[in-house]
């Protein structure tokens, strides 16, 4: 495998000094549970643990070297090679990782895309990864590595020969995107949509739009800003784009003035068909994921493909093979007594917009004989004082979609449960773990079950149990929880 970083490049980028006989560096990691031989291990400080506590383990697992603070370097001399970095900032190792990421961005000729938005960032990033990988060497964020450690780590992992880079950028508070987009320096920046997510940290949804608009501040001169024309905040986002160094703005959506516009979207249980016009060129394509939200975000993907000058026809063909990321619509057949039920895993995260979209998608899933559509919902977090009303307000979407049963987890989702007619109440519990047995007792052949909730509501436990008990091939959940030593991803 080609070395990702040489000794000289590492020392020059980080300002550190490599102690010991360094091994070839072929990757980068901050997690010893998933570290690979040859990875450069960064001993960053997490919310609960200090990465220096895991250096010996990382080196024992074959890490090419460990990046440690200069003050701790002597502690690990007997364990293997270490890159000792000077004490810059609150966390010298995180600062070093950021500098290495910036060096990776500076040395590549890749065309770089940055994606943000309240809903649909990861799905859009994965769709771009999928279609661009067929057209050239593509590097993209893993999982939802979109915050102050995920972005520089993803940059540090980027090979110099990359042709296309796709970076997800998130935030919980104002001004968090600015330093991240400055590191990524995108040629193209896309905002999927703006919704009341993390509203407790903002004065209004307009303030969230302003925070998302920060992504354009990092655009390279003459870059392209891509905006959802259907958004109620389109004009506000457009103002941010025009105030940036963008040379062009492209809009997408169903709006009649959108540059990339859907004429017709046909929704089927397992896929969507989109009849669109991309900058005046008619394009019809199948999308291998279900739901109107996914179809609309695919228009943003096509806008990016056009802006990159990549092959639009090839991208349209590639979208048919797209599958949902784990925790964001992945489907699993469950063998239960009497036949088969179907699980839709939407457990990665939740907010009012994404829950409504998931409910609408569940409504379109075909059930078997006597089968029911069942929504298993956990608390949506960080919604501020309006949280009870936002949970209660989902009853309208449940009724409109004719969802048969709702199982609710958590004190906030109880507001929804109590707003539903008795005929739609499946069960309610304080925690996801307490909801497992009531749910499994009620499952029957032909059911379609959708599980969704914020990460903090731990709805993934329900998915894990259903897969372990009933899935034909339980496999492994492809998106592990972030270790306690690492700050969580943002939105």
pLDDT at 46: 85
More confident: 170 or 338: 170
pLDDT at 479: 29
pLDDT at 478: 33
pLDDT tens-place string over residues 203-247: 999 999 999 999 999 999 999 999 999 999 999 999 999 999 999
Return the percentage of the chain with pLDDT > 90, whole number: 84
- pLDDT band with cut points at 50, 70 and 90 for residue 326: confident
pLDDT tens-place string over residues 8-28: 999 999 999 999 987 899 999
What is the residue extent of each domain of the chain?
A: 7-98, 108-321, 330-470
Mean pLDDT of 30-46: 95
When the pLDDT of each residue in the chain is averaged and rounded to a whole number, the result is: 93
Taking 90 as the threshold, does the pLDDT of residue 364 lie above it? no
pLDDT at 477: 36
Three-state SS at 331: strand
Of 65, 449, 284, residue with least CA distance to 438: 449
Phi, psi for 451 (deg, rounded to 5): -115, 125
Task: Label the pairing between strands 272-278 and 248-253.
Answer: unpaired
Phi, psi for 195 (deg, rounded to 5): -140, 170
Of 166, 118, 163, residue with least CA distance to 145: 166
Q: Tokens 């009620």: give the residue.
A: 442
Spatial separation of the C-alpha atoms in residues 193 and 175, rounded to whole Å = 18
pLDDT at 10: 97
pLDDT at 491: 54
Q: Which tokens sit at 412?
A: 């906030």
Return the percentage of the chain with pLDDT > 70, whole number: 96
pLDDT at 324: 84
Structure pTM? 0.86
Taking 70 as the threshold, does the pLDDT of residue 474 lie above it? no
Torsion, Cα of 42, 45, 47, 50 (10° steps): 100
Contact assessment for residue 227 and residue 251, using Cβ atoms and an 8 Å cutoff: yes
pLDDT at 23: 83
pLDDT at 490: 56
The CATH number of domain 330-470 is 3.40.190.290: no
Taking 60 as the threshold, does the pLDDT of residue 190 lie above it? yes
pLDDT at 403: 98
Which residues contact residue 35 at a Cβ distance below 8 angstroms, ignoring those fewer than 6 apart? 29, 41, 58, 61, 62, 63
Q: Alpha helix locations (H) across 81-204?
A: 92-107, 121-133, 150-156, 177-184
pLDDT at 229: 98
Class of domain 7-98: alpha beta
CATH topology of domain 108-321: 3.40.1190
Torsion, Cα of 294, 296, 300, 306 (10° steps): 110
């Amino acid at each position: 495998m080609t070395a990702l970083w040489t000794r000289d490049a590492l020392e020059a980028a980080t300002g550190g000094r490599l102690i010991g006989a360094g091994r070839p560096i072929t990757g980068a990691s901050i997690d010893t549970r998933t570290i690979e031989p040859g990875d450069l291990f960064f001993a960053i400080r997490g919310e609960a643990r200090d990465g220096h506590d895991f250096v010996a383990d990382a080196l024992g697992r074959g890490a090419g070297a460990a990046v440690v603070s200069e003050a701790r370097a002597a502690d690990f001399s007997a364990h293997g090679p270490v890159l000792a970095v000077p004490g810059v900032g609150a966390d010298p190792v995180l600062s070093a990782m950021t500098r290495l990421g910036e060096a990776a961005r500076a040395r590549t000729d890749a065309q770089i895309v940055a994606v943000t938005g309240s809903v649909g960032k990861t799905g859009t990033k994965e769709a771009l990864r999928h279609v661009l990988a067929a057209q050239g060497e593509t590097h993209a964020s893993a999982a939802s590595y979109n915050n102050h450690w995920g972005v520089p780590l993803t940059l540090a992992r980027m090979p110099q020969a990359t042709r296309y880079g796709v970076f997800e950028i998130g935030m919980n508070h104002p001004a968090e995107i600015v330093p991240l987009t400055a590191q990524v320096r995108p040629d193209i920046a896309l905002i999927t949509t703006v919704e009341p997510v993390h509203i407790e940290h903002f004065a209004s949804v307009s303030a969230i739009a302003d925070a998302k608009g920060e992504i354009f501040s990092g655009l390279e001169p003459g870059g392209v800003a891509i905006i959802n024309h259907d958004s109620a905040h389109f004009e506000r986002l457009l103002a941010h784009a025009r105030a940036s160094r963008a040379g062009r703005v492209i809009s997408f959506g169903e709006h009649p003035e959108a540059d990339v516009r859907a004429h017709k979207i046909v929704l089927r249980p397992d896929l969507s068909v989109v009849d669109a016009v991309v900058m005046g060129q008619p394009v019809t394509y199948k999308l291998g994921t279900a739901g109107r939200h996914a179809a609309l975000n695919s228009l943003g993907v096509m806008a990016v493909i056009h802006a990159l000058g990549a092959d639009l026809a090839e991208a349209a063909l590639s979208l048919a093979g797209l599958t949902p990321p784990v925790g964001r619509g992945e489907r699993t057949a469950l063998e239960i007594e009497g036949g088969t039920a179907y699980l839709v895993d939407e457990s990665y995260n939740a907010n009012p917009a994404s829950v409504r979209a998931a409910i609408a998608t569940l409504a379109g899933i075909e059930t078997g004989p006597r089968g029911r559509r069942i929504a298993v919902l956990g608390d949506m977090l960080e919604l501020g004082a309006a949280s009870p009303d936002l949970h209660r307000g989902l009853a309208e979407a449940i009724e409109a979609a004719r969802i048969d049963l709702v199982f609710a987890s958590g004190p906030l989702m109880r507001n929804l449960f109590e707003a539903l007619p008795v005929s739609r109440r499946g069960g309610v519990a304080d925690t996801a773990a307490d909801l497992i047995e009531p749910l499994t007792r009620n499952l029957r052949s032909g059911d379609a079950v959708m599980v969704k909730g914020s990460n903090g509501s731990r709805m993934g436990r329900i998915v894990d149990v259903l897969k372990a008990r009933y899935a034909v091939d339980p496999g492994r959940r492809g998106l592990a929880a972030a270790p306690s030593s690492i700050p969580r991803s943002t939105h």
